[in-house]
Amino acid sequence: MKIRSVEPVEVAAPEGERSSPWSSTVILVRVTTETGAVGWGEAPTTLMTRPVFESVGEVARFYEGRDVSEMGAAFREFGRYSFYQSRSMEATSALSAVDIACWDLAGREVGAPIHRLLGGALRERARAYSNGWYSDCIAPEEFAAKARAMVASGFTALKFDPFGDQYGALSPAGLGAASRRVEAVREAVGPEVDLLIEYHGRFFPEAAVRAGRELDRYAPRFMEEPVKPELSDALADFRARVRTPVALGERLLTPADFLSFLRRGLVDILQPDITNSGGFTFGREIAGVAAAFGAPVAYHNAFGPVQTAATLQMDATLPTFFLQESFEASWPEWKRSLVRGYALERGEFRIPKGPGLGIEVDEKAVERYRSDATEPIGPEPPWVIAGTWVRRSGGAPPPGPPA
């Protein structure tokens, strides 16, 4: 099965449909063989839509004309040529998407799900945690009401960012507001539901520690990216002073990155993203690193349905699987329409058993939503859940972050 073409396809929210920046664009990658067989991959977009789209063309040069069975060689050859790959989110994202699509083709060729090619499934279902559910929440009672609804729908774990417009530094008022939001959610859902606190990598070390020590009282299961990524050495002090485990990984790109964080004692729970950390090819190695350290793995999964399908194939094989992130309950309808084949039921995913990724991409829907748009800018950063940064009363952006 020689690869005839590698094509990036951007799809985006239709005009007039409100959609958070993190969900407003999706980059799919379609790999087609000379026999007409098609495999699908996906790449992340957050303020990278057009650079990643163009990077797929660079990756394609190493795959087109080769047999699908040579995808490992193509993957490594790209690494030899791409001088900045290990530090380029655009390069690794494009490579990851193509790798996912090639594994999809390989599974389809032999009529087996990818998890069987990786050694077989260790589980048939993956416990999910809900994210995105707190759109437009500002007041503690708003967080509480939506949290109760998510638990009523079957979720037993919820992730949310309680910090509003705080960035860099953390004011006493900002910390108090965050504490009240977490307290309200904990009281609303009870002690049996896992609460996962999202920092979004926004704080300086002192602010992160103050937040961690305050929110420890609500017994969260983990705190995600508490400090700015470039200040990651401060995580050792954070872990020494805060009881709650640290989770991170969506901005780590290679197995060596994950190994380094584990060796230095900077992380408890790994959150690789299959769409930027080397697809299945590096995914197998990251799983091995995690297993060697006994580190729980909770894959990051914030973009589109092909990403979810690929991630579930990895989840099936992980010796240290912990939780699976899910935005599905909060997705806009256009994104739901892109794929058929996996199901989220009462807070759990069923692992797809069909060949390859185990899904079917609706190419008519892909064409319907094809776009060359870039993500909107403002009034909130692209990583913010809609309405949680800008106060509805004034509608104006908050003051800029401290210098």
Q: Which residues are catalytic?
A: 200, 300
10 Å Cβ neighbour count for 92?
A: 32
Residue pair 221/196 in contact by the 8 Å Cβ criterion: yes
Residue pair 56/28 in contact by the 8 Å Cβ criterion: no
Token code pair at residue 353: 């058993």
Rounded to 5 degrees, φ, ψ at 368 are: -60, -35
The verdict on whether omega for the bond into residue 379 sits within 30 degrees of 0, i.e. cis, is yes
For 146-193, list the strands marked E by DSSP. Answer: 157-160
Residue pair 211/178 in contact by the 8 Å Cβ criterion: yes
Rounded to 5 degrees, φ, ψ at 127 are: -65, 130
CA distances from 376 to 1, 163, 238, 328, 383 (A): 40, 22, 34, 21, 12
Q: Which residues contact 283 (CB under 8 A, 6 or more apart)?
A: 272, 274, 277, 314
Strand partners, 246: 223
Strand partners, 31: 6, 39
Axis-axis angle for helices 89-110, 305-315 (nearest 10): 70
Token code pair at residue 210: 């103050």
The residue assigned the tokens 């991170």 is 248
Residue pair 78/95 in contact by the 8 Å Cβ criterion: yes
The residue assigned the tokens 């807070």 is 347
CA angle 254–102–292, rounded 5-degree value: 35
Token code pair at residue 97: 């998407």
